[in-house]
A and B are shown apart, each in its own frame.
Chain A
Amino acid sequence: MTAVSAQRPGVARRVAGRILSLWIMPVALVLWEVVTRWIQAVYFPPPSTVLVRLHELWFSGSWRTFFLTDDAIGNFLPSFTRLAIGWVLGCAVGVGVGVALGRSTRLSAYVDPLVHFGRSIPPPTLVPVFLVLFQFGGSMQVATIVFGVVWPIMINAIEGARYVDRQYLDTAQVFSLSRLDRLRRVILPAAAPKIFAGLRISVSLSLILMIISELVGSTDGIGHRMLQAQGLFDIPTTWAAIVLLGLMGFLLNTTFLLVERRILAWHRGARRTD
């Protein structure tokens, strides 16, 4: 009885706190609306105009297509596909190579300079190279995303796999774990907090690279659509694309953090009790 009554105000207060902490969003929106209406600048349409355009252009479709319009499907789908393929490939290569390098001092002695050279190249500078290599079409964008995200993932995976606690490895050896078990059940989980730090960076990075690559050379995708609108001086559509990208980034990050919280729950728990 006491436990219940003690818990209630706590939860209520937490929810109220959550809602209150969101006050900044509507205030900022209203402020933006007021300022833009007041200065009447062509390049800064009020958010109401932008949101109406966002809705009309992409989210006013039939319920059968989840309210997406043809324009949305024609541009979101290719963008998302590239993003997903690029990110997954980058993760696979980054984590795979990173863990191998982290576990082998001999291998990393050879390859480390290469890794540090590779990570120092700003990925957008390679877009022209990939354009020549892959011509127009999806593979150029995918290549740009993979090249961009692979480095932070790899660097973190190397670090994570290299500094696995000595005692974890001793324990694995004492109990004669197989090589595969040692990798899957000891090294990878031990390195997971570091690996996830790299993955977290790569989520936002992949979105940035998707747009950059589409702005430079593409016939569809959100970046391409944005460029098109800009060419037609369709300022509200350009802004609508910016808002859309902001929302996408927010959604991707939130989803990632949810997954990370689940997978690394043990890590937070163990750190709290240390």
Chain B
Amino acid sequence: MLEINHLRHSYGSHEVLGGIDLKVDEGQLLCIVGPSGCGKSTLLRSIAGLLKPTQGEILINGVPVAGTPDNLAVVFQDYSRSLFPWMSVADNVALPLRRKGMSGARRRTSALEALEQVGLEGAAAKYPWQLSGGMQQRVAIARALAYRPAFMLMDEPFGSVDAQTREDLEDLVLQVRGVHGMTIVLITHDIDESVYVGDRVVVLSKAPSRIVGDLSVGLPYPRDQIATRQLPEFVRLRADVGRLVRGVPG
């Protein structure tokens, strides 16, 4: 599905990505976790085709990424600047579908379906800025879902919402995973979140970052905010990831 080979990126003389090799299988929910400033966002922007890597290559389904792939959607951290304030919620969700040659009515139906999936069917006619932060991020997720990408990237999607909303949104991601056989890569600095949401966690080191850990998460589904976090397996994985993030030898 996604294949990254020897990816390096530097801003001037400052090397951020120091050679990343990674393979992600179809349908996987991969969490990439690392200390702040480790180049997580650079990695995501490279995969999304927003940034040309200094070296190395990124392949999606065997095709090198040049520009933004058609079958990829991104959920950004800053929802307030990623949703367009001049469009209603439904129009925001429907906008990317214009490229798919759907009729206006079809686009609207798809948008409403996606909003229903994230529990926001009542907010279609509102403007994004009339909603709370958590709801806006749901709209952003709905927009990505309506687009039916093979591949969804999430860049610290829950970094700017409160703890309760964060848990709700984590559960939303778990709920939509596997819809349309989508592969999800979620970037976060939150160790608990990466273990709770992911079925695989990749740990990046400080810049110039490299992959220092690659763990498979065997926690059962459905996951539960309280019960799952109490499992010995969860506690063990969290400790492992935590040590790797801090660079402490296990």
Contacts and interface: CB of A to CB of B under 8 A. Distances in A.
Interface of A: 165, 167-168, 170-171, 173-178, 181, 185-186, 189-190, 192, 266-267, 269-270, 273-274
A173 B49 CA distance: 9
A176 B130 CA distance: 27
Interface in B93-130: 95-96, 98-99, 127, 129-130
A273 B130 contact: yes
B137 to A, nearest CB: 14
Contact of B73 (A175, A185, A274): A175
A269 B50 CA distance: 30
Contact of A189 (B80, B82, B84, B143): B84
B99 to A, nearest CB: 5
A177 B96 contact: yes
Contacts of B129: 266, 269-270, 273-274
Q: Most chain-B CB neighbours within 10 Å: which of A176, A178, A274?
A: A176
B76 interface: yes
Contacts, number: 74
Contacts of B15: none
Contacts of A176: 68, 70, 96, 99
Interface in B141-166: 143, 147
Given A177-B98, A177-B99, A267 B76 contact: no
Contacts of A190: 84, 86
A136 to B, nearest CB: 45
10 contacts: A167-B76, A170-B50, A174-B68, A174-B73, A175-B96, A175-B147, A176-B70, A266-B86, A266-B127, A270-B129
Contact of B86 (A167, A170, A178, A192): A192
B95 A181 contact: yes
Contact of B95 (A173, A185, A270, A274): A185
Interface residues of B, number: 27
B37 interface: no
Q: Does more than half of chain A's interface fall in helix, strand or loop, or is it mixed?
A: helix
A174 B49 CA distance: 8
Contacts of B95: 175, 177, 181, 185
Contact of A267 (B70, B78, B80, B86): B86
Contacts of A167: 76, 78, 81-82
B95 to A, nearest CB: 6
A266 to B, nearest CB: 4
Given A174-B74, A175-B147, A181 B98 contact: yes
Contacts of A267: 85-86
B98 to A, nearest CB: 6
A273 B130 CA distance: 8
A174 B99 CA distance: 12
Nearest to A273: B129
CB-based closest 3 A-B pairs: A175-B96, A270-B85, A167-B81
B48 interface: yes
B81 A165 contact: yes
A233 B49 CA distance: 73
Contacts of A192: 86
A181 to B, nearest CB: 6
B72 interface: yes
Q: Most chain-B CB neighbours within 10 Å: which of A168, A174, A177, A270?
A: A174
B93 to A, nearest CB: 11
B130 to A, nearest CB: 7
A262 to B, nearest CB: 12
Contacts of A269: 85, 127, 129-130
Contacts of A168: 81-82, 84
A165 B80 CA distance: 11
A270 B72 CA distance: 28
Given A189-B86, A270-B85, 5 more contacts: A170-B82, A173-B68, A174-B74, A266-B127, A274-B80
B57 to A, nearest CB: 20
A117 B130 CA distance: 44
Contact of A266 (B48, B76, B85): B85
Nearest to B45: A170
A178 B74 CA distance: 17
A174 B72 contact: yes
Contacts of A181: 95, 98-99
Interface in B62-80: 67-68, 70, 72-74, 76, 78, 80
Nearest to B74: A174
Nearest to A189: B86
